[in-house]
Structure 1
Amino acid sequence: MTDAPRTLADAREWARVGTELVLGAVADIGDGEFDADSMLPGWTRKHLAAHVAANADALCNLVHWAATGEETPMYASAEERAAGIAKGPAMSAQELRAWLCASAVKLARGLDGLTAEQWRNKVVTAQGRTVPATELPWMRSREVCVHAADFGTGVSFSDLPAGFLTALVDEIAAKRGLTELPDGPLPEVAAWLAGRPHALADAPELGPWL
């Protein structure tokens, strides 16, 4: 683990890379293969695509909050969040790809439009944390980078930026209260911490994260 701080520019670049990986992953999925299981238990690729798209829409609400001061929660309720994921299976592959792309573009444009002052404005996440808007790109980068691998199209943690993986390891290890980590390549340690498939020998099983 490291004490090196991640910057806003870092997080924005990681979100961009992760978005490209997600869009590339869904482009590689045939229309008839979206109903197949993702790497997440109980979720098909359609569930996962809907979740990632709905996450961008929800973060757009926080961008609006930061830009205008108008309180706009990520989700009106837990039921609304679940409904966004649940509608995925009823959508076509074309509709899901379009939603993923449009929501990502809208979020990126919204972030581009924030002023230096607006980036410092506080918003409240779906988990109830009060954070400055500068945290939004990091929140998005976690979603797109980690979930890009969950589509099961060949994207793995080794495809993710090293700086992102280091920041992810720092965050998850702290949240899990881990002071010692198993030896191994950074992508494998990050995958293990995130509760994803990994190649570490004798590492204890961890519960799911994200």
Structure 2
Amino acid sequence: MTMDPLLLTGEVDGATDRLLRTAAAFDGADLAAASLLPGWTRGHVLAHLARNADGFVNLLTAARTGEPIPMYASATARDADIAAGAPRPPDAHLDDLRRSADRFTEAVAAMPVEAWAATVQTRRGPWPAAMLVWGRLREIEVHHVDLDAGYRPADWPEAFGHRLLHEVAGDLAGRTDVPPMVLRFDGSRHELVVGDRASAPTVTGAAPEIAAWLIGRSPGTMLAVAPDGPLPQPPEWI
């Protein structure tokens, strides 16, 4: 399960192609319909994905040049850009998604090897530049599900589901507001333990389904818990 940015570029390309196919099928009414994100239409999600690509371009440029370039000019500017882009017609959304994805690809290709060792400032604090390609892949795959257009966590590539699960479980293990749980993948003895194992129920299922439940993209109906009882309640994910 590599996080090597250059090895992940092909996965970003594949995820982008799947997203573009979904977006190409939307008409104006589809774009105005609600997404799975409260208060956002599908148009908001697509506008966010395009501006997110440009935000990652900014961070890649900062890593390459050493200039303190922020991901977004400000939180207010980010929100305003999404709101302004949301009601655009389908062709404009599709063109923006394609062009912004191309800019991201070009920014990755322009990175010299040493620039991947840089640290950049994201909206939530410092991040290694080597994680930026993973960050973009995660945005595409998770928000593709948020479009509520037939793409489900079960459609995530297996490697992505496992990476996301490990990342989220690792994040939760460092928090104090998380109920204890043991996460076990279907067909595997491999486990991820969060909190005190002695008092933790075991949640079993496919890695993408566990990951989707942990990040609030699934109610966990495909998961089993032992001993019998309700699933733990994970806190809100980022």
State the TM-score, normalizing by the size of structure 1: 0.90
Task: Determine the structure 2 residue equivalent to 1:200.
Answer: 223
Aligned mates of 1:27, 1:205 — CA distance in 2:
36
Q: 1:148 aligns with which of 144, 147, 160?
A: 144
Aligned mates of 1:17, 1:146 — CA distance in 2:
14
Bigger mean CA deviation after superposition, 158-167 or 141-150: 158-167
Task: Determine the structure 2 residue equivalent to 1:113.
Answer: 110
CA contact (8 A) 1:39 1:152 kept: yes
Bigger mean CA deviation after superposition, 102-111 or 64-73: 64-73
Please state how far the C-alpha of 1:16 moved relative to its aligned partner: 2.0
Residue deviations 1:165-207 (CA, integer Å, cap 9, x gap): 1110011112222652210112211110110124325433435
Q: 1:5/1:97 Cα in 2 relative to 1: closer, same or farther (>3 Å)? A: closer
Aligned pairs, number: 206
RMSD between superposed Cα atoms in Å? 1.8
Q: Is residue 157 of structure 2 the alignment partner of residue 136 of structure 1?
A: no
Please state how far the C-alpha of 1:159 moved relative to its aligned partner: 1.5
CA contact (8 A) 2:31 2:41 kept: yes
Structure 1 gap ranges (5+): none
Residue deviations 1:10-66 (CA, integer Å, cap 9, x gap): 432332222122212111222321100011121100110111111001111111111
Q: Is the partner of 2:205 in helix, strand or coil? A: coil
The structure having more radius of gyration, on CA atoms, is: 2
Aligned mates of 2:75, 2:167 — CA distance in 1:
24
Structure 2 gap ranges (5+): 174-179, 184-202, 225-229
State the TM-score, normalizing by the size of structure 2: 0.80
CA contact (8 A) 1:169 1:190 kept: yes
Q: Is the partner of 1:87 in helix, strand or coil? A: helix
Q: Is the partner of 2:18 in helix, strand or coil? A: helix
Q: Is the partner of 1:109 in helix, strand or coil? A: helix
Q: 1:48 aligns with which of 33, 45, 48?
A: 45
Residue deviations 1:113-143 (CA, integer Å, cap 9, x gap): 11111222221111112x3321110110110
Aligned mates of 2:106, 2:75 — CA distance in 1:
26
Please state how far the C-alpha of 1:208 moved relative to its aligned partner: 4.3
Fraction of identical pairs, as percent: 36
CA contact (8 A) 1:46 1:89 kept: yes
Task: Determine the structure 2 residue equivalent to 1:180.
Answer: 182
Q: Is residue 155 of structure 2 the alignment partner of residue 159 of structure 1?
A: yes
Give the letter for the 1:200 counterpart. L
Higher relative contact order (CA 8 A, sep 6+): 1
Task: Determine the structure 1 residue equivalent to 2:196.
Answer: none
Please state how far the C-alpha of 1:106 moved relative to its aligned partner: 0.4
Task: Determine the structure 2 residue equivalent to 1:93.
Answer: 90
Q: Is the partner of 2:120 in helix, strand or coil? A: strand
Q: 1:69 aligns with which of 66, 70, 73?
A: 66
Q: Is residue 53 of structure 2 the alignment partner of residue 31 of structure 1?
A: no
Task: Determine the structure 1 residue equivalent to 2:57.
Answer: 60
Aligned mates of 2:98, 2:236 — CA distance in 1:
27
Please state how far the C-alpha of 1:95 moved relative to its aligned partner: 1.1
Larger relative strand fraction:
2
Larger relative helix fraction:
1
Aligned mates of 1:84, 1:206 — CA distance in 2:
31
Q: 1:170 aligns with which of 145, 166, 169?
A: 166
